[in-house]
Structure 1
Amino acid sequence: MPDVRNRYLYGPMNQRLLNWGIFLLLSLTWGSSFILMKLGLESFSPYQVASIRLISAGLALLPVFFSYIGKTPLKKIPVIILSGLLGNGIPAYLFCIAETRIDSSLAGMLNSFTPVFALIFTVSLFHAPVAKRQLTGLAIGFVGVICLFLAKGIGTNAYWYYGFFVILATACYGLNIALVHHYLKEFASLQLVSISLFFMALFALPILLFSDFFTVFGQAEGAYTSLAASVTLGLMGTGVASILFYQLIRSAGAIFASMVTYGLPVVAIGWGVLAGEDINPLQVICLAVIMGGVYLVNRK
């Protein structure tokens, strides 16, 4: 018969294992999002791919939306919509615009900057205490990002600055992490995601309809492949992944949740290699520098 101490540890241990399971699944799901975007962009514009992504996710969770919307306090709806814009809506378009000019693997690497912005907004908006090593990590992370741009070849790639669209998207992610952790932590993951994605789908629908989508779909070669990639991106990379991410914030905290960034670039680089993208050792070294800064930011 197990002693009291073992019984006490059994629950927390299971929760930790569950948190790490969600962590790994999110890394695989979100890490694969970058190559799915690239596939979608083979036939469609960035605005079309992003809109299909958001509409697909919103439609998939529509039954859940109707079950939760009546139970949600009216005063919290604007905050949930803002969370949807920061966590899904705006980044969906920014990433697609960026990947019209940069590789999916580079987008995955730059996405690793998310925890740094999570720290910046948590400290600046919510006055959380900050340690000297976290400031050091912040500086190292910035240096790593600059070196990553240089490693990609600012002089040889006329569109290197499209990487800043990814940086802006990571700023949105960081702000959303801080927002959810401080204002929406009491809500169930399905509740937050279904409501926020319903409104994101509403916002995305007119963008898709006024973008000549149906004309492009009827004429573009490989349109069905791009559509399948965009819909999969919405269902898995936005719908399922957002539910898992909100759950991770609630159960493990904002900082641990932001550490999913550690796994994303590895998966993104793997897909980039399979897709024949140019990935050199210097880029990997720069990614390691960014990860070192992120580690200092998050280390307890």
Structure 2
Amino acid sequence: MKQSFTNWLIFTGLSLTWGCSFILMKVGMEALTPFQVASIRLLSAGISLLPFFFQHIRTTPLRKVPVILLSGILGNGIPAYLFCIAESRIDSSLAGILNALTPLMALVAAFLLFKVPVKRQQLFGVCIGLAGVVMLFLEKGFGDNAYWYYGCWIVVATACYGINIALVHHYLKGYTSLQLGSIALFGVGGMAAAMLFSGDLTVFRGARFPWASVAAACTLGVVGSGIASVLFYLLIQRAGSLFASMVTYAIPIVAIGWGMAAGETITLLQVACLGIILAGVYLVNRKKA
């Protein structure tokens, strides 16, 4: 009973943490640019796991380090910038809904890159999920070009997530999430620092330092990318991958809740589209008895 309660406590914490990340990006961009928010996020995430980097880098085979760094770029680096760029023009709740595409993208990436066989039920689930995305875009009509353009960047970000999941599954088995995360985030954190300090830093030198936006970006990194990755691995160890994967269903619900609290307009059609996407995710992950 106690173990089950702890598992649900971790599950709730992960759902709230990752679900809040979309609104935190909005808060960060109130005073900072999308590139600054993403760079601070990645830099702070790398710093938060720095002690574990020194612990694990010595026991990691050198030939695996480039693969881990590529995993960091695909699983953290590129998506962090794409999500922030997209949210400069679209609602955080929509970003949370589109993020639910990740399991579908993982299946497609595994099939295209590693020829993993796909069952008819899973293919049907992918089609349903993509249909939900198309309906979500059609809700705004064809006249809003920015809505389509920036929304598609999130689809690309979930594709990066999917490729990374397939990459880790096929080339990085046997390594813990903490080991992979600390090395990967050390690499992308260094790249993010170079991008941050080579850009315009005027906003940080002004009379009014953007404390709220910087705090939001740092929270994204330390809690959303650093601590949450450790908790997710712990949940997989304690409750299994099937239970842990259900976080996918809770994240967009939290994102929608924060969007409503922030005054974003959320229609019944958007909620229905989310239901269709999650139905597709269910079919992809469902195992036959």
Structure 2 partner of 1:166:
154
Structure 2 partner of 1:3:
none
Structure 2 partner of 1:6:
none
1:175 is displaced (CA, Å) by 1.2
Question: Could you tell which deviates more after superposition, 100-109 or 57-66?
Answer: 57-66
Question: Could you tell which deviates more after superposition, 257-266 or 130-139?
Answer: 257-266
Question: Which of residues 249, 253, 258 in structure 2 aligns to 1:271?
Answer: 258
Aligned partners of 2:235, 2:116: CA distance in 1, in Å? 20
Whether 1:148 and 2:113 are equivalent positions in the alignment is no
Aligned partners of 1:134, 1:150: CA distance in 2, in Å? 24
Structure 2 partner of 1:55:
43
Whether 1:243 and 2:246 are equivalent positions in the alignment is no
Correspondence 1:45-124 to 2 at 5 A? 45-124=33-112
Q: Could you tell me the percent identity over the aligned residues? A: 61
Residues 244-264 of structure 1: CA deviation (Å, up to 9, x unaligned): 3345567734x7655432111
RMSD of aligned Cα (Å): 2.2
Structure 2 partner of 1:194:
182
8 A contact 2:203–2:209 mirrored in 1: no
Question: Which of residues 271, 276, 284 in structure 2 aligns to 1:297?
Answer: 284
8 A contact 1:31–1:266 mirrored in 2: yes
Whether 1:224 and 2:238 are equivalent positions in the alignment is no
Whether 1:30 and 2:18 are equivalent positions in the alignment is yes
Aligned partners of 2:43, 2:55: CA distance in 1, in Å? 19
Whether 1:234 and 2:198 are equivalent positions in the alignment is no
TM-score, length-scaled by structure 2: 0.91
SS at match of 1:147: helix
SS at match of 2:98: helix
Gaps of 5+ in 1: 1-9
SS at match of 1:263: helix
Q: CA, structure 1 residues 46+79, in 2 after alignment: closer, same or farther (shift >3 Å)? A: same
The letter of the residue matching 1:160 is W
1:273 is displaced (CA, Å) by 0.4
Aligned partners of 1:23, 1:86: CA distance in 2, in Å? 24
SS at match of 2:195: helix
Residues 120-141 of structure 1: CA deviation (Å, up to 9, x unaligned): 1122333333211111111111
Residues 218-274 of structure 1: CA deviation (Å, up to 9, x unaligned): 338671100110000111111112223345567734x76554321110000000000
8 A contact 2:140–2:147 mirrored in 1: no
8 A contact 1:185–1:249 mirrored in 2: no
Residues 71-105 of structure 1: CA deviation (Å, up to 9, x unaligned): 11101101111111111111000000000000000
1:22 is displaced (CA, Å) by 4.0
8 A contact 1:102–1:160 mirrored in 2: no
Whether 1:262 and 2:249 are equivalent positions in the alignment is yes
Residues 190-217 of structure 1: CA deviation (Å, up to 9, x unaligned): 211111111111111111012212x112
Aligned partners of 1:27, 1:170: CA distance in 2, in Å? 17
8 A contact 1:117–1:171 mirrored in 2: yes
Residues 138-193 of structure 1: CA deviation (Å, up to 9, x unaligned): 11111100101112444246443201110011011111112222222311222111
Structure 1 partner of 2:172:
184
SS at match of 2:31: coil
Report how many residues are paired. 286
Q: CA, structure 1 residues 220+52, in 2 after alignment: closer, same or farther (shift >3 Å)? A: farther
Aligned partners of 1:275, 1:24: CA distance in 2, in Å? 21
The letter of the residue matching 1:38 is K
